[in-house]
Structure 1
Amino acid sequence: MLRTLIATHQRFGLRAPFRIARGVKTAADVITVTIRQGAQEGRGEGVPYARYGETIEGALADIAAMAPLIERGGSRMDLSAAMAAGAARNAIDNALWDLESRIAGTSVATLADRPAPGPVASAITIAIDTLEAMETAAARAAAVPLLKVKVDRDNAAAQIAAVRAAAPAPRLIVDPNESWTMAEVVALQDLLVAHRVDLLEQPLPAGADGDLAGFASRVPICADESLHTAADLDALVGRYAYVNIKLDKTGGLTEALALVDAARTKGFGLMVGCMVCSSLGIAPALLIAGGAAFVDLDGPLWLADDRAGGVVDDGGMLSPPAPGFWGTPA
């Protein structure tokens, strides 16, 4: 069973700057892993994230260190035992799933004993900008099922109000990206309720989760940066109502599937999210999106040009990539 593993850095320009509370990006920098075995090859993608101490160079080095294990036939379980969760493992793990499906001549959904992915209502994200620009963006998306608004600490109330005024109908996620204090979470409760916010995503810095213990939020709160793998769940019980599962945090679909089951067992509602990435990063996440209450997989929609055959958005409904793109027979 001779394999070859190739990892490359690819950059996808964005159609507009993507601003959140801690910074702005104008391109998506991803790692693409290709694993070849005989006539078959599988692909996976990861997005190294500076917030978690990851870099493109570091991810490529970590993948190179795993290449001997994978090339001599190492499994996804071997990979999980040898490598920490994160973007580098995500790219390898999902490439292995894709390769397995092609060798078996069946879909990853079948191999994982999960329903085949179908269209899902995925959030359209309104990034931080001037209030006028955010209102304009929200007005363009006013007919979608789900919106997500990125906010900061200084102008959050006005940003939420502007988006809701322009888009009164969609369900609404508010994401401060760790920029609020507990005092602000408390002070903004009335405003969140008044603007019919459905979910408040990671308002506090990861590590400050204890401040939420015993707090009866009037809007459900979701852990994002505070959750990576199933090992993190116990510390979030009684503090968060939902958890946001991202494959770049879990280190691939393998751990994400286990995290879904563990989170449900512990009573958490599910959100499935992503980094700004191409459709190759989204295709595996769609395997777990169908059972989530909130889906936020619009990363490829920010790209000026996505990979050919990728996901398609139609009015906030995201359809899976074309057959043969990832994890399905052509």
Structure 2
Amino acid sequence: MSRTLRAQHDSFPLSQPFRISRGVKTQAEVVTVELAQGGVVGRGEGVPYARYGESIESALAGIEDVRVALEGGADRAQLLGLLPPGAARNALDCALWDLEARLSGRTVAAKIGAPEPERLISALTIGIDSPMTMAVAASRIADAPLIKVKVDATIPDTQIRAVRNAAPNAKLIVDPNESWDQQLVRAMQVVLVALRVDLLEQPVPADADEWLEDFTPEVPICADESVHVTADLDQVARRYQVVNVKLDKSGGLTEALALARGARERGLGLMTGCMISSSLSIAPALHIARMSDFVDLDGPIWLREDRPGGVRDEAGRLWPPQPGFWGTL
């Protein structure tokens, strides 16, 4: 078996700035992998995240470190031992899934033993801004069934209220991106209930969440930065009610499936999330989304131009990519 591995940095300008508590993003910076074998090509994408000490350069270096093994025929199980969880392994793992599907003539869904991806409800995100600007943004997507609100620790109650007033019928996910502390989480409980928030995502830093073991929230709290792989679940289950499965954290669809199943076995709720990315990151995540209670896969919606044939959003309803885009024939 002989393969050829190609990895490169691709940049996708956003249609508008994306603001969270950590800063502002104007471009999606991704690593694209292609694995070719016998004239067939499998593709994958990873999004390095500085929060986890990753960069485009480090991801490409990690891929280069395992080039010989991958070109020599290493499979997904072997890849788990070759690279740690992260964007580099995600890009390679997803490329292997895509290549396997094309070589075998069986879709990824068939290999998993699941239905083919279909249209689903996926959150539309409102970035941090003034309450008035956030209200205007919410009014434009008020018909969406699920809205995610990015907030910080300054005026989160005012920001959430502005969105709720502009979109009275949508389910709401509030995401402070680790910017709150214990005192603010406790103080915000009455506000979250009053504004009918459905999920609070990673309000405090991952290294300062021990106190959640003795806290009973009024609104379910979802672990994001606190959970990466299946080995994290026993601790996470003592502190959170829901886990956010992201392929860039887990290091690919292979571990993400194990993580999702392990979360369900422990009675945890499931969310599927993503980075700001192209549809090549989203297509594999759809296989986790079908298992999830909350889906947040609007990364490509922020792009000025996505990869051809990618996902399509209609007012918060996400359609899968066109046949043949990834994991299908």
Partner Cα distance (1:82, 1:34) in 2:
18
1:212-240 deviations in Å (ceiling 9; x for gaps): 11211000000000000001111112210
Tell me the CA shift for residue 113 of structure 1.
1.5
Secondary structure in 2 matching 1:218: coil
Tell me the CA shift for residue 163 of structure 1.
0.5
More displaced stretch, 164-173 vs 127-136: 127-136
Match of 2:44 in 1: 44
Tell me the CA shift for residue 115 of structure 1.
2.0
Alignment root-mean-square deviation, CA: 0.6
Match of 1:249 in 2: 249
Partner Cα distance (2:315, 2:25) in 1:
25
Match of 2:174 in 1: 174
How does the TM-score come out when normalised to structure 2?
0.99
The one-letter code of the counterpart of 2:176 is P
Q: Does residue 133 of structure 2 align to residue 133 of structure 1?
A: yes
1:253-292 aligned at under 5 Å gives the runs: 253-292=253-292
How does the TM-score come out when normalised to structure 1?
0.99
Match of 1:305 in 2: 305
Match of 2:27 in 1: 27
Match of 2:187 in 1: 187
The one-letter code of the counterpart of 2:146 is L
Q: Does residue 205 of structure 2 align to residue 205 of structure 1?
A: yes
1:163-211 deviations in Å (ceiling 9; x for gaps): 1010000100000000000100000111000000000000010011211
1:24-52 deviations in Å (ceiling 9; x for gaps): 11000000000000110000000000000
The one-letter code of the counterpart of 1:169 is N
How many residue pairs match? The answer is: 329
Match of 1:154 in 2: 154
1:9-88 aligned at under 5 Å gives the runs: 9-88=9-88
Partner Cα distance (2:306, 2:291) in 1:
26
Unaligned runs of 5+ in 1: none
Q: Does residue 233 of structure 2 align to residue 233 of structure 1?
A: yes
Unaligned runs of 5+ in 2: none
The one-letter code of the counterpart of 1:310 is G
Tell me the CA shift for residue 114 of structure 1.
2.0
1:120-150 deviations in Å (ceiling 9; x for gaps): 1000000011222111110011001100000
Q: Which runs of 4+ in 1 moved over 4 A?
A: none
The one-letter code of the counterpart of 1:188 is M
Contact 1:209 1:236 in 2 (8 A): no
Secondary structure in 2 matching 1:98: helix
Partner Cα distance (1:317, 1:303) in 2:
17
Contact 1:277 1:300 in 2 (8 A): yes
